Amino acid sequence: MRKQKENSLSLVLGLGNPGRKYENTRHNVGFLTVDALARTLDIQLKKRFLKPYIVGTSKKGAGSGMYTIIKPLTFMNRSGTILPHILNTSIYTVSDIILICDNMDLPPGEIRIKRKGSSAGHNGIKSVMEYASSGEFTRIYIGVGRPAQGISVVDHVLGIPEGDELESMLFGVASAAQALEAILSGADLSKVINEYNRRKGPDRSGQKESNGSL
């Protein structure tokens, strides 16, 4: 028998671009979430010899089953190229994938979890769907907002936010890591979706008022 329950196997796939210049860009929130999750779960991420990804796997019996967390090193537009090898040499299937990536339709700091869907124009998801031959996998979107007037989409997602926006983005990364931890611990996915999809980003409504009183 392959699976005993929905959450017994999970292949966590955080999307981003490799290299120092991309480390804290909006496009790399998937990488940042995987790093945060690995720290929380005490999972060591390693680069496998001649393999274009960084990977860490749970200890046997951890949580509700087995999980693997991965950062592709193929650049965002080719994220899916690692999947055939992984799916053909492991017990995971496409439905076990939990993909984490940025989303411009959400404000910074908010996350949305979906069981499946289209690529929504995201090139990383397009690549994963192409090589997985399916869109039947869970996604965790982290909001990075829309570019300001006069800024291209490419410059926006490859830019590094500052100030409140950076804090909001990191708040979203932390929320996504918490949601992932809950799923990997065996929480019901529907309950996790209901809880985290209702959450808003950090409340900054009092900041201007507070600053004005100084």
Q: Which CATH number goes with the domain that contains 100?
A: 3.40.50.1470
In a domain, 3, yes or no: no
Reading the chain (214 residues) residue by residue, the pLDDT tens digits are 334 334 478 999 999 999 999 999 999 999 999 999 999 999 999 998 899 999 999 865 444 578 999 999 999 999 999 999 999 999 999 999 999 999 999 999 999 999 999 998 999 999 999 999 999 999 999 999 999 999 999 999 999 999 999 999 999 999 999 999 999 999 999 999 999 999 887 865 544 433 333 2
Question: Quick check: is 2 in a domain?
Answer: no
E-only strand ranges, the chain: 9-14, 46-47, 53-57, 66-72, 97-103, 111-114, 138-143
3-state secondary structure of 154: helix
Instruction: Please give the model's pTM, rounded to 2 decimal places.
Output: 0.89
Which of 126, 117, 115 lies closest to 80, judged by CA? 126
Number of domains observed in the structure of the chain: 1
Cβ neighbours, 10 Å, residue 9: 20
Known catalytic membership, residue 122: no
Does residue 1 lie in a domain region?
A: no
Which entry of 27, 85, 122, 156 is annotated as an active-site residue?
Answer: 27
The torsion of the CA quartet 70, 74, 78, 83, rounded to 10 degrees, works out to -40
CA distance to 164, 169, 174, 188, 211, per residue, from 205 (Å): 12, 17, 21, 33, 11
Residue 205 resides in a domain: yes
State which residues form the domain around 148. Answer: 9-212
